[in-house]
Structure 1
Amino acid sequence: MDARTPPLNALKVFEAAARLRSFKKAAEELHVTPTAVSHRVTQLEDVLGMSLFVRDAHGVELTPAARACLPTLQRGLDNVRDFVEQLKLHPQSEVITVRTSPSFSMRWLMPRLHRFIVGHPGVDVYVDTYARLFMELRPGDARSGLPDAGGDQADITLIYGAGNVPGLLTERLLDAAVTPLCSPALLARHPPLTSPDQLDAFTPLHCDRDAIYGERSLWQLWLDAAGAGHIRTDHGLRFTQASLAIEAAVDNMGIVMCFPVLAAAELEAGKLVAPFDLTIPLASGYQLISSKAANRRPAVMAFKRWLHAEADATRLADRTRWATRAPAPATTRAT
């Protein structure tokens, strides 16, 4: 505040004394002592460098200058009261911070987030995608996705990992499984794909997430389970994010080994298909991680309940999709 600006409290006291023409009546209205009123008026006069009242044995009277300016002050105080009342009608939105990987944010969270916003207009959601955290993640080390990146801790972290994080609350949100996906147009360019042995004729598409499995990539995990571990997949195109690898598959650039949950929109639209019905479940999955302090906030708990409801709907949609797809060749069925 500018040093020449009178204190608001002193202006309020002066207005009451000027309107009532009495320090005693002003004190009664403001629930203070007459001495306190006199002190505030004197303080205001010192700041302004002029007298505001003429004091005599009969009481106090406004100076001509004070009388002329009093209506302006009263309008200003009325505006302040209106300002406060209007603020009460628009309570500040509560903000929750959600941290997750770019691919999971773009492909699962963001297409659904509007439903939470509509149902919870008093809550703002800040989505933080800090890619490098998740590229460095290893199963069983979910804490590596929870550092204080950007200066403050997330209320909720949605992260791919194996299990509990000491000191934090961990809930399984979605299971993970892998299967190869490609575009129908790509399949049409080749002879009918009836066996995993034929995959060596296609370009494999990789995401850096493969590295979290150490020496075995997602491709190797699936091929070993399909009895085609001899197929080489150490070539092809590599991407830093699963979403980029999925887009490459849509563009007929090869076959991607990924989580169907991340490609649900493309599968639903027929832009991608699963040429085999062998899907390998993984021990790790998408975890919902929060602190005990965050869970004491109603907005955080509301968001967690909404996440679980959306995850339930995702599982139901996945079961329906796989149950209604065309049967795969018998040689590719899981046992």
Structure 2
Amino acid sequence: MAQTSRLPPLNALRAFEAAARLESFSRAADELAVTPGAISQQIRLLEDHVGTPLFTRQGRGLALTDAGRAAANTASDAFDMLERAVSLMRRPAMKRSLTVSVSPSFAGKWLAPRLHRFQDAHPGIEVWISAASERVDLAAGAADLAIRYGPGGDMTLNEERLLTEEVLPVCSPDLLHDGKPLVRPRDLAGHTLLHDASPESDVDGADWASWLKARRVRGIDVSGGVRFNQSALVIDSAVAGRGVALAKRTLVQNDLAAGRLVALFSDGASPVRSAYHVVTAKNRPLSADAQSFIAWLKAEARHHESSVDEL
């Protein structure tokens, strides 16, 4: 059959991609939920369409021809792109919407209290905050950008540091007035310790045991107290006067500035290696709205860090 510029049937291309990737008609049939005979028929149809063999049959074995080998990776990439396109189609159709993926604690304690300033400056952009602990697939279009906490260095994404972090002991001012003394770190022995048990805390050493060890404080039992799997819950419990929290500075700063919490000990702050990063997919160009949001985030981060210096 003469070559043509028309594309062959999609089923034939799908059969070729699966058979080339799996190097087997039988495994391709299992993956696509059809019979091996159907895969063989689709391959013959494709070979007739392009005018050249794509596989050689060697007994029960299967090998790609030069033409098949040249097209195999491109075919896989093409189907990946189609899957991403379908994912984008399934997103809610909203005019000039921007979806930002972020952890619940960062969303509630840092981002949400500031978001009105972006909305005032950009009333035509509808921002959707997707607050979840699970990381979404940015390459598949699940969000336009994300703010993630960690050591950084993910080479599969575009990544830019937004905010550094440190931890420090905090408590309600009522606890200072009405509770046992809290003048020196060893006074913590008389208080309930509130633990941030979010996954990144163990990686950073941002826990009570590490904090006390760095200050050579012994004799305090860190196995008791209350543990929370989200940083914001640790802070809220401290505001309620339930104990002393080892809190992330970025998340606790609003409560410190408002007087709901007080920082303890002159040398209480300990830097951690993790930071907050703005991340985007490498395979998807940034929209003008996403660029505006990132620029706003950076300005807010600079203002935040200058206010930390003033505390």
TM-score by length of 2: 0.65
Identity %: 35
Match of 1:157 among 134, 139, 146: 146
Q: Pick the structure with greater CA Rg.
A: 1
Map of 1:276 onto structure 2: 265
Deviation at 1:116, TM superposition (A): 0.8
Q: Which amino acid aligns with 1:304?
A: I
CA distance in 2, matches of 1:219, 1:300: 38
**Mapping for residues 206-245 of structure 1, pairs under 5 Å:** 206-209=195-198, 212-213=201-202, 216=205, 218-245=207-234
Q: Which amino acid aligns with 2:144?
A: D
SS in 1 for 2:222: coil
CA distance in 1, matches of 2:156, 2:309: 34
CA distance in 1, matches of 2:148, 2:200: 16
CA distance in 2, matches of 1:194, 1:229: 16
Does residue 116 in structure 1 map to residue 118 in structure 2? yes
Q: Is the 8 A contact 1:239 1:245 kept in 2?
A: yes
Q: Is the 8 A contact 2:166 2:271 kept in 1?
A: yes
**Mapping for residues 1-335 of structure 1, pairs under 5 Å:** 93-131=95-133, 133=134, 145-147=135-137, 152-209=141-198, 212-213=201-202, 216=205, 218-278=207-267, 279-321=269-311
- Pair 1:215–1:293, CA change in 2 (3 A): closer
TM-score by length of 1: 0.61
Q: Is the 8 A contact 2:198 2:228 kept in 1?
A: no
CA distance in 2, matches of 1:305, 1:215: 28
- Pair 1:180–1:295, CA change in 2 (3 A): farther
CA distance in 2, matches of 1:162, 1:238: 23
- TM-align CA RMSD: 2.2
- Pair 1:295–1:319, CA change in 2 (3 A): farther
Q: Which amino acid aligns with 1:299?
A: D
Q: Is the 8 A contact 1:202 1:255 kept in 2?
A: yes
Q: Is the 8 A contact 1:183 1:271 kept in 2?
A: yes
SS in 2 for 1:160: strand
What is the aligned residue count?
A: 217
- Structure 1 unaligned segments of length 5 or more: list them: 1-91, 134-144, 322-335
Q: Is the 8 A contact 1:208 1:240 kept in 2?
A: yes
CA distance in 2, matches of 1:130, 1:184: 31
